[in-house]
Each structure stands twice: as structure tokens, then as C-alpha cells.
Structure 1
Amino acid sequence: MFSSARQAFARAPRRAFSTTSTRSYDVSKLILIGRLGKDPEVRTTKSEKEYVSYTVATTNYPPPPPNPDGARQEAGTTWHNIISFSPAQNNYLRNLQKGAQVYVEANFELRDADPAADPSSPQAQRQIFLRHETIRVIRQAPSHDTE
């Protein structure tokens, strides 16, 4: 199941770790291996800056432990919304298709809820903001050619 992911990691360039103090380079990074939930979308900020938004679905593994009666729940799916502001990466992301299996590295930021927001709105909830760093396609989306 993970053989294609291992191959992708084996081909990845190696990085040498610096002797510079880690305090000046702290990071919050999330690594995802999953499938694109829909085709990436090009959007524009209020200040007219173009960005690409895409969603990666991952399956929570291993599945939860068995219930007291011995029945096991199915592993759930988590949907991760990621944005990219890099023009070079955005050109590549536009060509990806729903269903492609991808390896994604994203920086993340945990944003606190807005106490003044409507409790039913997303702004009233704590959010994880994912900013695209790299993506590698592990397996292309299955083609749905209709002739």
C-alpha cells in the first residue's frame, strides 16, 4: 500500500541539516498523503492576489479500537483545505485532477476563534490554516474517458 509513497520519498532530494540555531528556524509542518477531493480552484484575494485552493482527503488509520461489543467502526476521512500563493506552483496545481494520490507538505497555523463571530459560522471555530509548500503526485487520477 505504501510502496509508491516509499518510492516517492526515495527519489526526493536529500537535505543537509544546518548548524544554525533552531530557534531562528522553527516550523509547523504537516505532511499529508491522500487524494485530491476536487480539482484545484483558482481564486482571488480582496487585494486581487491570485491563489489556488485545493482539498486533500486522508483516511484516519489505524481505525478506532473495537467497541465493547467487539464491533469496529470504519476509519474516518479527514478533509484538509490547503492554499498556495506561489505563482509557479499554482500553474502546476491547476493541472491536477480530483482523485490523484498526492504527497503534500504544508505549513500550518492554528487560528483562534473570533469571539465576536456568529457561533454557527466558521470564524467562531478554531481553525487550522494550511499553506502549500510542496506537492508530489504519487498516482494520477483514474481517467474517466467516455467515447
Structure 2
Amino acid sequence: MRAFTPLRPFLRAPATTFSARSFSSSPAHSVARLILTGRLGTDPELQATSTGQDVVKYVVATSYGPRDNRQTSWFRVSSFQPEGPQRDHLLSLPKGTLVYVEGDASIRSYEDAEGKRQSSLSVVQRTLEVLKRPHSDSFPPEGTQ
């Protein structure tokens, strides 16, 4: 007699019983999610799209590497928040605020004014958390009291 192994029943199972997405009845979709932790490079601005929809746009700067050779990347983020407290809160954040942003990322190609092919990374905010506000100018710098 052969020894029982836990894999034995699966080896005899027909291939049709295994499904790549057996946990969901919805079709598979590709997702490009981006997580950024960085500082606001500008104050968020309210703008209108060509269809008249309001969008809040801002820039998040992330830095990495050793202090003497630090590299900074700049990410443009769009937020399609409805009117109300969430949008007002986002618009009140000053430049330098440390934020955690989750967003959907996509790369778009376009032709610039000179006819050259360019590409741009677009990030649409899903969530935003304020981690730390910048120091206020009203306080004296450390060691000057």
C-alpha cells in the first residue's frame, strides 16, 4: 500500500476544479496602487476640469538616500473629493505638511508643444492622512529663547 500524503487527492482532481479567482464572481481587473509618504510641495489648489468638475491638486515630495546624496521625487496628485469638510480640510493643509497618501496610478503618454512624445504619471487620491503639520513661524527657532 502507498503512504497517504495530503497532496494525493489534489493530484487526482480534474483541472476544472481549480479556479484562479474562485473567491470572487466579478471579472479580474488590473490595479496600480501607489502609497506615498512625503511632504506637500505646494499648498493644495482647487481647480475645475474641462467638464466643470472640481478637483483639488497638490504635489507630494518624497526623499530617499543618504543625507549627502539625497534624491527627491515629486508626485502630482489629484483629489476628486466632494464638497464639504474633507475637501476643506485638504485645502487648509499648508506646504510642508507630512502626509500619507494612497492613490490609483496610471501613466499617460502625450505629445508636447514641440511634438516630442512625453509620458506622465497620474495619481488619483483614494485616502489621505496627515502625519505631521509643519512648524509654525510664530514660534521662535530652537535655541533662540
User: TM-score higher than 0.5 here?
Assistant: yes
Q: Which runs of 5+ in 2 are unaligned?
A: 1-21, 140-145
Inter-partner Cα distance in structure 2 for 1:33 and 1:22: 32
Contact 1:100 1:142 in 2 (8 A): no
1:108 aligns with 2:105: yes
| Structure 2 residue aligned with 1:62 | 65
Structure 1 residues 8-63: Cα deviation after superposition (integer angstroms, max 9, x where no partner) = xxxxxxxxxx932685243101101100011100011122111100110001x335
Specify whether residues 27 and 57 from structure 1 end up closer, same or farther in structure 2 by C-alpha distance, changes over 3 A only: same
Among 83, 88, 92, the residue aligned to 1:91: 88
Once the two structures are superposed, the pairs formed by residues 102-141 of structure 1 within 5 Å of their partners are 102-114=99-111, 117-119=112-114, 124-141=117-134
Larger deviation, residues 41-50 vs 20-29: 20-29
Contact 1:36-1:100 within 8 A present in 2 as well: yes
User: Which AA in structure 2 matches 1:62?
Assistant: G
Q: Distance in 1 between matches of 2:134 and 2:65?
A: 24
- TM-superposed CA distance for 1:143, in Å, is 1.0
- 1: CA distance, partners of 2:68 / 2:134: 28
Decide which structure has greater strand share. Answer: 2
Shift >4 Å, 4+ stretches: none
Q: C-alpha displacement at 1:118, in angstroms?
A: 2.9
SS in 1 for 2:87: helix
Which of 7, 16, 39 aligns to 1:35? It is 39
Q: Deviations over 1:39-97 (max 9, x none)?
A: 100011122111100110001x335xxxxxxxx96121111110011215423211211
- RMSD between aligned alpha carbons? 2.7
Give the greater-gyration-radius structure (CA). Answer: 2
TM-score with structure 1 setting the length: 0.68
Question: Which consecutive residues of structure 1, in runs of 5 or more, have no partner in the other structure?
Answer: 1-17, 64-71
Report if the CA contact (8 A) 1:51-1:90 is conserved.
Answer: no
**Secondary structure at 2:96's aligned position in 1?**
coil
Q: How does 1:8-27 map to 2 (within 5 A)?
A: 19-20=23-24, 24-27=28-31
Contact 2:103 2:125 in 1 (8 A): yes
Identity %: 35
